[in-house]
Structure 1
Amino acid sequence: MRHRCRINKLSKPADQRRALLRSLTTELIRHGRITTTLARAKVLRSEVEKMITLAKEGSLPARRQALGYIYDKQLVHALFEQAPTRYGNRQGGYTRILHTIPRRGDNSKMAIIELV
């Protein structure tokens, strides 16, 4: 049974799933927009929003938590500088998912996820 199991496992073990989400989060914050599968984009949305919420808070424990998750130290500092001004009046919904055409090789649903 998978009743009330809300996490999408992405067909990966826990350590690989965590590493994948960390790298996707890092690249989305770095570039502002990435193309990935729809399932990964939906899982990635919650992780990115947690990091932006930490950046809006701006405290030292929040910064340390973000440094432990995002791979690039300079990227974390830039995020903590920009997030309060960019997302200060927004209560959530920092990302947007746009559906695109299916991937050519295996016809999997693709999406563009971007920061608003």
Structure 2
Amino acid sequence: MRHGKKFNHLGRKTAHRNAMLANMACSLIEHKRINTTLAKAKALRMYIEPIITKSKEDTTHNRRIVFSYLKNKFAVSELFQKISVKVADRPGGYVRIIKLGNRQGDNASMAMVELVDYNEIYNPNGAKKKKTTRRSKKKVDAAAPQAEVVNDAKESTEE
């Protein structure tokens, strides 16, 4: 029976599931975006959101708690140094799941999991590209008289 089992067990024993989610969380922190199945994506979101919330306050205790989940020093330092700074003012919802369709081999529904603040396309507050204008005629006209002066100076020195 399924009484009181509120999260998806993903067809794995507890140790295997925890190791898999820790590895996926480390990959998400390192690459900012990963592709996986939809069920694993939803389980990963439940796993990593409390961890990111813990990383907002950089204390030794919080670092040890996060390390007990992730088991990767590089991921913990990346999380506390870079990611927590970007999500400092966000009250939650650090992870976005985008459905990608079904996988070719076994027709499993796939999804892309990404950190919300690291996507430039969807993030309206992110870094915007600088608009460039194509007004090169004014620069060419301003440079042309100087070139004539240089040519006149060369002709006078040759004579």
TM-score, length-normalised on structure 2?
Answer: 0.69
Name the structure 2 match of 1:99.
99
Name the structure 1 match of 2:43.
43
Name the structure 2 match of 1:31.
31
RMSD: 1.2
* Bigger-Rg structure (1/2): 2
Using the alignment, how far apart are the partners of 2:75 and 2:22 within structure 1? 13
Using the alignment, how far apart are the partners of 1:2 and 1:66 within structure 2? 29
Q: Which runs of 4+ in 1 moved over 6 A?
A: none
Pick 1 or 2: higher relative contact order, CA cutoff 8 A, min separation 6.
1
Aligned length: 116
Superposition map of 1:1-116 within 5 A: 1-116=1-116
| One-letter code aligned to 1:22 | A
| One-letter code aligned to 1:26 | C
The Cα shift of 1:115 comes to 0.3
Q: Deviations over 1:63-93 (max 9, x none)?
A: 0111122232122112111234201111000
- Is contact 2:41-2:111 (8 Å) kept? yes
Using the alignment, how far apart are the partners of 1:109 and 1:3 within structure 2? 27
Cα distance 1:12–1:53, how it changes in 2: closer, same or farther (>3 A)?
Answer: same
| One-letter code aligned to 1:36 | T
Name the structure 1 match of 2:127.
none
| Identity of matched residues, % | 41
